[in-house]
């Protein structure tokens, strides 16, 4: 079949997105892998399907580049929201969509011709503090470790070792390394399913901001985050029980190109 797609990126995290409201496309692992392959396909960190939802503007399905359907992707959620806006879904100001981890709102902010998306993430309740790392579920599982000289670190080698550590089996984990600079943090992420470092990770940046507040024992609830592909922002409110609510991820999202491709 001839498949129409659009390609989006948010801070360098890139995605193939398909309007699947009619339900005609049922992707196999091989098809997703091909579409995401940077040599033989379109090339992306993941594939998203925009599907019908009875109560909300749409449903978001996310597949990693390895072809497997996966958990929530924060930058993907921001990108698919802009795609939905282009289809006339929701209102000019926002969309509301459902996904594997629950309901999300996305607000559109335009500055100097660039679109930023402020995405509401799930409440963060699953937080583990270990001797030298945090383990936090922000819609996807994330290992967060604080380091120095992050720019020089071999994130692929270090991240791959943690991702495949038996203690995170069978699903594995995303791996984030964080360096703190005053009120800003620098984050690099090895993503499971991509099996490589990505230029940005939304759920990872969210986990890193929350872990930083805990690590510093800080009341700061707004964090500017530098990632390899640009800049993101995370804000949240902390409950008395140590969990987090009103968690928001903000950053740019844009269409890169569109096209068609022949798939089996």
Residue 257 sits in a domain whose CATH number is: 3.10.310.10
Report the mean per-residue pLDDT for the chain: 97
**Tens digit of each residue's pLDDT (9 = 90 or more) over 50-82:** 999 999 999 999 999 999 999 999 999 999 999
pLDDT, residue 113, reads 86
User: Is 102 marked within a binding site?
Assistant: no
8 Å CB contact between 195 and 181: no
Which domain covers residue 69, as residue numbers?
2-120+253-262
pLDDT, residue 182, reads 84
User: Is 202 marked within a binding site?
Assistant: yes
pLDDT band at 255 (very low <50, low <70, confident <90, very high): very high
**Tens digit of each residue's pLDDT (9 = 90 or more) over 74-115:** 999 999 999 999 999 999 999 999 999 999 999 999 988 899
Q: Per-residue DSSP letters for 65-107?
A: TTS-B-S--HHHHHHHHHHHHHTT-S-SSEEEEEETTEEEEEE
**Tens digit of each residue's pLDDT (9 = 90 or more) over 181-213:** 988 999 999 999 999 999 999 999 999 999 999
Do residue 114 and residue 175 come from a single domain? no
Compute the average pLDDT of residues 150-174: 97
Do residue 229 and residue 132 come from a single domain? yes
Do residue 216 and residue 160 come from a single domain? yes
Do residue 163 and residue 234 come from a single domain? yes
Active-site positions? 73, 201
- Answer whether residue 48 shows pLDDT above 80: yes
Do residue 18 and residue 78 come from a single domain? yes
- Answer whether residue 241 shows pLDDT above 90: yes
Joined tokens for residue 14: 């890139």
User: Is 203 marked within a binding site?
Assistant: yes
User: Is 71 marked within a binding site?
Assistant: no
Residues 6+ apart with CB under 8 A from 118: 106, 107, 109, 248, 249, 250
- Answer whether residue 264 shows pLDDT above 80: no
- Answer whether residue 173 shows pLDDT above 80: yes
User: Is 212 marked within a binding site?
Assistant: no
Do residue 166 and residue 243 come from a single domain? yes
Structural domains of the chain, count: 2
Encode 48-81: b = buried (16+ Cβ within 10 Å), e = exposed. bbbbebeebbbbbbbbbbebeebbbbbbbbbbbb
Do residue 240 and residue 258 come from a single domain? no
Do residue 138 and residue 116 come from a single domain? no
User: Is 152 marked within a binding site?
Assistant: no
User: Is 74 marked within a binding site?
Assistant: yes
Do residue 157 and residue 220 come from a single domain? yes
């Amino acid at each position: 079949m001839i498949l129409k797609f659009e390609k989006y990126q948010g801070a360098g995290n890139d995605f193939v997105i398909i309007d699947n409201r009619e339900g005609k496309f049922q992707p196999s692992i091989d098809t997703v892998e091909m579409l995401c392959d940077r040599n033989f396909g379109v090339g992306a960190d993941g594939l998203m399907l925009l599907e019908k939802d009875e109560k909300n503007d749409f449903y978001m399905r996310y597949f990693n580049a390895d072809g497997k359907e996966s958990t929530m992707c924060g930058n993907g959620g921001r990108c698919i929201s802009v795609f939905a806006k282009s289809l006339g879904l929701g209102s000019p100001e926002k969309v509301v969509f459902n996904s594997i981890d629950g309901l999300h709102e996305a607000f559109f902010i335009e500055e100097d011709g660039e679109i930023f998306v402020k995405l509401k993430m799930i409440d963060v309740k699953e937080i583990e503090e270990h001797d030298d790392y945090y383990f936090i579920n922000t819609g996807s599982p994330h290992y967060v470790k604080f380091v120095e000289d992050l720019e020089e670190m071999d994130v692929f080698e270090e991240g791959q070792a943690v991702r495949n550590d038996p203690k995170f089996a069978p699903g594995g984990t995303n791996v984030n390394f964080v360096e703190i600079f005053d009120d800003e943090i620098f984050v690099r992420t090895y993503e499971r399913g991509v099996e490589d470092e990505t230029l940005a990770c939304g759920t990872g940046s969210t986990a890193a901001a929350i872990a930083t507040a805990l690590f510093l024992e800080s009341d700061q609830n707004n964090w500017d985050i530098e990632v390899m592909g640009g800049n993101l922002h995370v804000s949240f409110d902390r409950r008395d029980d140590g969990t987090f609510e009103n968690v928001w991820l903000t950053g740019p999202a844009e269409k890169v190109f569109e096209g068609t491709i022949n798939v089996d």
